[in-house]
Amino acid sequence: MAESVASRESKMTSTKDIQKASRWRLRPRERRNLLLLGDFIVAVIALIVALSFWASAAEWLGFSLAFLQQRTPLWFFTLPLIWLVLLVELYDVNRAGNWRATVRGVAGAALIGLMVYLALYFAFSDPPKSLLPRRGVAAFLVSASILTLVWRYVYIRVFTAPRFMRRALLVGGGQGGQSLLQVINSIKPPPFHVLGILDDDVNKIGTQIENFPVLAGCNQLLEIAGEQSITDILVAISGEMRGETFRILLDAQELGVEITRMAVAYEELLGRVPIRQLEADWILRSFVDQNRAGGFYEFGKRMLDILGGLIFGLFTLLVLPFVGLGILIESGRPIFYSQVRAGKGAQHYKIIKFRTMRQDAEPDGVPQWAAEDDERATRVGRILRKTHLDELPQCVNVLKGEMSLVGPRAERPELMAMFQKHVPFYRGRLLVKPGITGWAQVNYGYAATIEETIVKLEYDLYYIKNRNLLLDLMILLRTPSTMFSFRGQ
């Protein structure tokens, strides 16, 4: 009886310690919401600053209700929301904790906003100054950039400090656990403060794995979790789990500790699936049993493809005279390039692109990987590839239904046959239509080796598993920054 009371008291103490520790230690979703709220507040302040600066030039009105009613177009009040959209890349929690990436992201958002405004302004022969106020837009972009940088600096200094970091234990020091620890070590600042590893292999206890100590066996999990104020347990057990370990994990969950499987943590941290650690039937469970795309999504995606295909088609017609002339002057005909690619279900179709390489790029007919600064590319072609403008004619493939705006990159059948021999689950990327842009393209870019192909496939399978219209829209919003960063090859 006394032992039972002591056990309950110990459990209650552990519960209080864990709940207290969890109070200010933010989850990735909570960090993202905090970033959104902070960015929105500073964007609203920037809007007020911009209106005040703009109104100072209207001496007879000043910053007054009359000025807001008579001189300010309604769209101007949406600038804070537009600013949030332009910052879409900085809502990756890992990127948000990096100051250099933050500066690049804010500068890129301001540059894209300025270029879109200038394109609209000069699209009119007689720009409507009352609808496109130069002074107001310039003041907003400058003040929003400065205030966002100040807020993001505060976020990095305060909310990535140890006090706000989740405290974790890793259960399982095998290959899966090592892979997860490598991921955690690669992220700066780290997403977790990992206190150590628990593993039932007595030969591992007292050693280090990826610079983290193996503390004890799984039977001491509850004791260590209470002593170290653990908020998260990352489970990377390969093979069968012992019944006793399962019970201990359930007890820890009841105390308030979050339990996360290795594959789920890997996906959340990197936006990829760990294909080297997946079981043989994973692709069937993920894509056949759990993730059949609904009819509403398919209909919405097709409508988005048609609308986007028409917009890209119009843009292609606008740049065609300039691109076509550049190609003709440097290397002659043809302007366009057609090549067989594998689409959904391995169905073949012909992709259409602006020609970027010499006419004799593959004299023996053997497919070759595109390399960085490829010697086969022409000077005009290098510019087109760096900016991804060579992809624009694929709008024809999108309108025909052979491709989508968003999806895995279309690959040549010959290369796919080789990849399927060396890359596990590679055929899985053929479950959806290939896309002009995609989750792998905006996060990783091109692959020139088998190892890089594996990483890129991890992004593609993550997209296929989690695809929805919101994710498609986010990828489309991130694509311009990818183009302006000249990451193509």
Q: What is the pLDDT of residues 463-482, one digit of tens each?
A: 998 888 999 999 998 888 77
Are residues 468 and 373 part of one domain?
yes
Residue 322 sits in the same domain as residue 463: yes
| Residue 276 maps to a domain | no
Q: What is the pLDDT of residue 3?
A: 44
Higher pLDDT, 308 or 375: 308
Residue 302 domain flag: yes
User: 237, 270, 303: which is the final residue of a domain?
Assistant: 270
Domain count, the chain: 3
Contact call for residues 263 and 465 (beta carbons, < 8 A): no
* Least-confidence region, from 64-78, 152-166, 306-320: 64-78
Inside any domain, residue 283: no
| Residues 400, 352 share a domain | yes
The residue out of 106, 135, 159 marking a domain boundary is 159
Question: Average pLDDT in the 86-111 region?
Answer: 89
Q: Are 315 and 451 in a shared domain?
A: yes
Pair 201, 306 in one domain: no
> Which three-class secondary structure state does DSSP give residue 363?
coil
Say yes or no: 120 and 147 in one domain: yes
Provide the 3-class DSSP secondary structure of residue 338.
strand
Q: Say if residues 357 and 327 touch (Cβ distance below 8 Å).
A: no
Residue 352 zone, left/alpha/beta (φ > 0; ψ -120 to 50; rest): beta
Residue 234 contacts residue 170 (beta carbons within 8 Å): yes
21 in any annotated domain:
no
Handedness of CA 18, 23, 28, 30 (dihedral sign): positive
8 A C-beta contact, residue 453 and residue 270: no
Q: Which two tokens stand for residue 351?
A: 């992709």
Q: Which of 418, 398, 414 is nearest to 406 (CA)?
A: 398
Statement to judge: residues 471 and 326 lie in one domain: yes
Tokens 């986010």 correspond to 474
pLDDT digits (tens, 9 = 90+) for 411-468: 888 888 888 888 888 888 888 999 999 999 888 877 778 888 889 999 999 999 888 8
Q: Does a structural domain hold residue 184?
A: yes
- Domain boundary (137, 159, 181) is at 159
pLDDT class of 181 with cuts at 50, 70, 90: very high
Here the tokens at position 16 are 């209080």
Task: Give the predicted TM-score (pTM) of the model.
Answer: 0.81
| 181 within some domain | yes
Whether 116 shows a pLDDT value over 80: the answer reads: yes
Query: What residues form DSSP beta bridges with 171?
Result: 198, 235
Output the DSSP codes for 146-178: HHHHHHHHHHHHHHTSGGGSEEEEEE--SHHHH
State the Cα–Cα distance between residues 101 and 104, nearest whole angstrom: 5
What share of the chain in percent tops pLDDT 70? 82
Q: Per-residue confidence at 69, pLDDT binned at 50, 70, 90?
A: low
CA 150 to CA 148: how far, in whole Å?
5
**What is the SS3 assignment for 218-260?**
HHHHHHHHHHCCCCEEEECCCCCCCHHHHHHHHHHHHCCCEEE
Look at residues 386, 468, 377, 460 and name the one whose alpha carbon lies nearest to residue 425.
460
If asked whether residues 349 and 233 sit together in one domain, one would say no
Closest CA to 462 of 292, 179, 270: 270
What is the sign of the dihedral through the CA atoms of 429, 431, 437 and 442? negative
CB 336 within 8 A of CB 359: no
Residue 324 makes CB contacts below 8 A (sequence gap 6+) with 335
Q: Are residues 239 and 338 in the same domain?
A: no
Place of tokens 């959104």: 36
109 and 189 in a single domain? The answer is no
CATH code of the domain containing 249 = 3.40.50.720
pLDDT value at 375 more than 90: no
Query: Is 416 inside any structural domain?
Result: yes
How much is the average pLDDT of 329-342?
86
Is the pLDDT reported for residue 331 higher than 70?
A: yes
Task: Give how far Cα 145 sits from Cα of 80, 152, 290, Å.
Answer: 12, 10, 42
- Average pLDDT of the chain is 83
Confidence of residue 379 (pLDDT cuts 50, 70, 90): confident
Average pLDDT over every residue of 228-250: 87
Q: Give the pLDDT of residue 80.
A: 94
186: CB partners within 8 A, 6+ apart? none
Answer whether the bond into residue 334 is a cis peptide, omega within 30°.
yes
**Same domain assignment for residues 32 and 132:** yes
Kindly tell me the burial class for residue 181, based on how many C-beta atoms sit within 10 Å of its own C-beta (0-12, 13-18, 19 or more).
buried
Domain that holds residue 71: 28-159
Question: Is residue 104's pLDDT more than 50?
Answer: yes
Q: Tokens 């890992």 identify what position? A: 94
Residues 192 and 322 in one domain: no
Per-residue pLDDT, averaged over 149-166, amounts to 88
pLDDT of 361 over the 80 cut: no
Q: What CA–CA distance (Å, rounded) separates 277 from 237?
A: 11
Q: What is the pLDDT of residues 1-52, one digit of tens each?
A: 444 444 444 444 455 555 555 556 777 788 889 999 999 999 999 999 988 8
Where do runs of H (alpha helix) occur along 388-486? Answer: 395-400, 413-422, 439-443, 450-466, 469-484
Indicate whether 290 belongs to any domain.
no
Instruction: Give the range among 11-25, 159-173, 309-323, 411-425 with minimum mean pLDDT.
Output: 11-25
CA dihedral sign, ordered 105, 111, 112, 114: positive
The arithmetic mean of pLDDT across residues 344-371, rounded, is: 76
